[in-house]
Chain A
């Protein structure tokens, strides 16, 4: 079974802090994705990566950056966390452009 893990289920950070969310997949998938999920808005794509060191902006990249130094790991970085970044963050991976497999999510609260 494909496994996608995220470093934390719950995270509380202060405004202005630098925040790292880590995602690891164990199936050698080329593609990895970061979404945020908000009530009434569904899932919105922040960034995705289709290869090591490659990244593409999604629909809402502002305030975020990403890093993919190894194929299995995709990090989401909030350079200076703000309260409007309080959300559920979901990581996903896929083999080419097939079915996406999701991690359990990280619920981030910025106070």
Chain B
């Protein structure tokens, strides 16, 4: 079974600075998908970014980018130019490519952006 580990429960960053959220996972599969989801306070969870394991290039979405290290099974999220609206819980998630495969989530990290 796959596991996803987010070892930092909380982080804080000054507005406009850069922060990196860590995630590691364990799998014996070669092809899979990785995701970062964001859950703002009292608001719906939304997808931030996704990475396909067979793609070597790191995914980017505006201020959000990932550092995907397949051999190390590491998938960190970098948020550049942090904004107050980035304050949220962030969840790392894994999904294999098999039929009917499920998302496995990490325990999440609470990010606070200070003004």
Given contacts A99-B47, A99-B50, contact A42 B103 (CB under 8 A): no
Q: Please report the number of residue pairs spanning A and B whose Cβ atoms sit closer than 8 angstroms.
A: 41
Contact B9 A56 (CB under 8 A): no
Contact B103 A90 (CB under 8 A): no
Contact A102 B45 (CB under 8 A): yes
The prevalent SS among residues of A at the interface is strand
Neighbour of B108 across the interface among A42, A50, A105, CB < 8 A: A42
Chain A, interface size category, equals: 20 to 34
Given contacts A90-B45, A102-B45, contact A58 B102 (CB under 8 A): yes
Chain B, interface size category, equals: 20 to 34
Which residues of the partner chain A approach B103 to less than 8 Å between Cβ atoms? 33, 45, 100
Q: Of B6, B37, B95, B102, which is in contact with the most chain A CB atoms at under 10 Å from its CB?
A: B102
Interface residues of A in 1-51 (CB under 8 A from B): 4, 33, 40-45, 48, 50
Which residues of the partner chain B approach A56 to less than 8 Å between Cβ atoms? 100
Which residues of the partner chain B approach A45 to less than 8 Å between Cβ atoms? 102-103
- In the complex the two chains form, what is the Cα distance from A104 to B46 in whole Å? 10
**What distance in Å separates the Cβ of B10 from its nearest Cβ neighbour in chain A?**
11
Query: Which B residues contact A (CB, under 8 angstroms)?
Result: 6, 9, 35, 37, 43-47, 50, 91, 95, 99-103, 105-108
Query: Which A residues contact B (CB, under 8 angstroms)?
Result: 4, 33, 40-45, 48, 50, 56, 58, 90, 92, 97, 99-100, 102-105
